[in-house]
Amino acid sequence: MFTHKWSKKDRAHFLINTGKCLSQGYPLHLAIKLQGYHQKKTVMRLIDKMLGLLQKGCPLHLALNDLSFPNDVCSFIYYAEKSGQLANGLCESGEMLSKREEHKETMQKLLRYPLFLLWMFMMMMFLISQYLFPSFQRLYQSMDIELPLFSKLLLLVSDHLLIIGGFILMSACSAVALILFLYHRLSPDKKIFILLHIPILRIYTRLYLTHYFSFHFGSLLKTGMSINEALKTLAEQQLMTFFQHEAIKMQSDLKRGERLEQAIQSRPFYVKEFSHVIYNGQLNGMLGAALFDYSGLILRKMEEQTKTWLAVIQPMTLVFIGLLVSLLFLSIMLPVFNVMNGL
């Protein structure tokens, strides 16, 4: 009931600070309790609820899931509990959540100015079509001069602006609602397949899936688990169903005699060089360390890709709005030129 009062940014700081306390030797219960001081009452209630769940024997990842922490964050904690690296897992998951929120805030800042300009354009278009163009129309009628085609179209749109705007808004909302409804009914594999067919999201989806699998699988292998034991651990978690299914399929592939890099290469969900990283890691007997280090490279690549997209979005939006403003200016000047030519 109070989860919306605890922002994701504050949740990220909570995870990071709890992980730091654990690394300094604090027990988990005390490390979490320390984060409750100087917090709002709603956040303190959530932390008290978490402590109550832990006292009843509930694992930390399930307690966090009960408080509506993101599923991928909870799965990070699950693997950290299994690998015995809870402090690092809390810090890593907190950093991941914090960076995600930073990217979201950056996107909002980049779009804030273009959206303001778009709103100003709509206001200008409304005022011009309601007050300026009717004056031109009366002037043209008195001079027996025909309005330019572009101005006629703009007048036609302005006369039915509310109807057209309402229709577009209702159509867009209905389409989004239908897409989300159908999307949530799909299996995890089909959801990923859809994302892989969207040009803008394809690269980021592959990078995210590769980072997730290499980080957690590598972490489990570094603790001394065998490949089969690590896959079994991946298959036991229920928070990220896609990777649960992936682990089960890979177990079946290994039982049929396939090598791990072959099983990875046959799947379209990961970046191409991922199978080569696995092959070289096995060849040198350092698969866990190789995957763990590779996950860091993938994370940096994801950040670079995000920065690239953010750097492209704002100029494209500004150019689009600039074109709209130019068309609006043209629609104003054309009647003026026609009047001058008619004199």
**What total of structural domains would you count in the chain?**
2
Domain check: are 334 and 187 in the same one?
Answer: yes
Domain boundary among 81, 98, 115: 98
**What are the pLDDT tens digits along the chain (343 aa)?**
445 578 888 888 888 898 888 888 888 888 888 887 777 888 888 888 888 888 888 888 888 888 888 887 888 888 888 777 888 888 888 888 887 788 777 777 777 777 777 777 777 777 776 777 677 667 666 766 666 676 667 666 666 666 766 777 788 788 878 777 766 777 767 778 888 888 778 888 888 889 888 888 888 888 777 888 888 888 887 777 788 888 888 888 888 888 888 888 888 888 888 888 888 888 888 888 888 888 888 888 887 887 787 777 777 877 877 777 777 677 666 666 666 665 5
Domain boundary among 56, 72, 98: 98
Domain check: are 125 and 71 in the same one?
Answer: no
Domain check: are 132 and 208 in the same one?
Answer: yes
Domain check: are 184 and 261 in the same one?
Answer: yes
Domain check: are 64 and 132 in the same one?
Answer: no
Q: 50 is written with which tokens?
A: 């978490």
Distances (CA, A) of 245 to 80, 190, 220, 238, 241: 20, 12, 18, 10, 6
Domain check: are 287 and 223 in the same one?
Answer: yes
Domain check: are 178 and 327 in the same one?
Answer: yes
- Per the structure, the complete domain to which residue 203 belongs is given by 102-343
Residues 54/32, Cβ–Cβ less than 8 Å: yes
Distances (CA, A) of 130 to 118, 135, 182, 323: 18, 9, 41, 21
Q: At what angle do helices 199-222 and 241-255 cross, to 10 degrees?
A: 60
Domain boundary among 98, 113, 129: 98
Domain check: are 27 and 164 in the same one?
Answer: no
CATH number of the domain encompassing residue 25: 1.20.81.30
